[in-house]
Amino acid sequence: MGERKNCKTCSKTDCSAKKRREGESEEEFRERQRLAQRLCGIKRRIAVLSGKGGVGKSTVAANVAVALAAKGYSTGLLDVDIHGPSIPTLLGLENQPIYGEKEGLIPVDFEGLKVVSAGFLLRSQDEAIVWRGPMKANIIRQFVSEVLWGELDYLVVDCPPGTGDEPLSVCHTLECVDGALIVTTPQKVAAVDVMKCVNFCKTLKIPVIGVIENMSGFLCPKCNTVTYIFRSGGGRELCKQMKVPFLGVIPIDPDIAYACDVGKPFVRDFPESPATRKILEIVETIEKKLPTQKESDEQTKEACL
């Protein structure tokens, strides 16, 4: 896994890391090549975005990644939510040390899923990370570039919330993001956040896989019916206006809250839950839109370069 690809001997003639760009210094070119070599074995890069924190972005990212890995895809999950890394909690990996070798960081194994989280750098779960501006960009870059992912079908990236510098750094460092999942809540105020996320993707030329409305209604564990606390249908309507796919709703479900709190992915522990069905549908959409077979892979890579 520690083996680094070599641009000089690589047969990919269309790769942007083959040649020095105009105005690029030798040092910048080497750095870009180093990064490209690290990411070279990843077939599909998926960014999970949200306009603000607390909407279930990490929950969606973790469960999509677990479901992809369970389907037999070689999958990585990168949690770059540097202010509130919740992936360790969601997967029961709190206080998990992360090891490195000379070549880079070795992801933590979760039932075959390769996980790297900013949370693994904290000494304790309740410690806060206070990153200053340049450090933030640096840690993001390091995270993305210094991990020994090896060959991956999918890398699911839990991005920092919002549409500012931090998610921008993540997407720039990833170079080519094949698709974005946008997570939102049903309140009217969330609509503005979705618009910002969609525009963020448009500016960076990232195809939007779709928008997921989380915490939409409450699933009663006694009678199994969903009560809509906020007006429903807003997400679908907005997606129509913005011309991006709407992937559906996930209700507030006490089983999800429980699974998240005890560090177990609900897609594995609650196979019958409506949320699990929705995540599996999303995974099918990802398989269709971002297949990992070679021919279509080459097409997307070309489009990204």
Helices marked H in 146-253: 165-174, 190-203, 234-242
Contacting ligand ADP within 83-142 (CB under 6 A): 84, 86
Pick from 4, 19, 28, 54: which binds ligand ADP (CB under 6 A)?
54
Binders of ligand ADP: how many residues, by CB under 6 A? 19
Tokens 């309740």 identify what position?
126
Residue closer to ligand ADP (CB basis): 39 or 259: 259
By CB under 6 A, is residue 274 in contact with ligand ADP? no
Rg (CA), the chain: 19
Amino acid at 299: Q
Residues 6+ apart with CB under 8 A from 208: 179, 180, 182, 198, 201, 244, 245
By CB under 6 A, is residue 57 in contact with ligand ADP? yes
Q: Which stretch binds ligand ADP (CB under 6 A): 119-127, 194-202, 252-260, 290-298?
A: 252-260
Q: Which stretch binds ligand ADP (CB under 6 A): 13-21, 49-57, 65-73, 228-236?
A: 49-57
By CB under 6 A, is residue 49 in contact with ligand ADP? no
By CB under 6 A, is residue 257 in contact with ligand ADP? yes
Backbone angles phi, psi at 174, to 5 degrees: -70, -15
174 vs 211: CA distance, rounded Å: 21
Tokens 């979705």 identify what position?
194
Minimum distance between the CB of residue 227 and ligand ADP, rounded to whole angstroms?
13
140 vs 278: CA distance, rounded Å: 30
Beta bridge partners of 208: 180
Minimum distance between the CB of residue 161 and ligand ADP, rounded to whole angstroms?
6
User: Residue 212: in which H helix or E strand, if any?
Assistant: strand 208-219
Minimum distance between the CB of residue 90 and ligand ADP, rounded to whole angstroms?
7
How many Cβ atoms sit within 10 Å of the Cβ of residue 239?
21
Query: What mask, x for binding ligand ADP by CB under 6 A, covers residues 232 to 251?
Result: ------------------x-
Minimum distance between the CB of residue 116 and ligand ADP, rounded to whole angstroms?
16
14 vs 302: CA distance, rounded Å: 7
Query: What mask, x for binding ligand ADP by CB under 6 A, covers residues 196 to 215?
Result: ------------------xx
Tokens of 182: 């946008």
Residue closer to ligand ADP (CB basis): 109 or 261: 261
Pick from 17, 36, 49, 56: which binds ligand ADP (CB under 6 A)?
56
Residues in the site for ligand ADP, rule: CB under 6 A?
50, 53-59, 84, 86, 214-215, 250, 252-253, 256-257, 260, 275
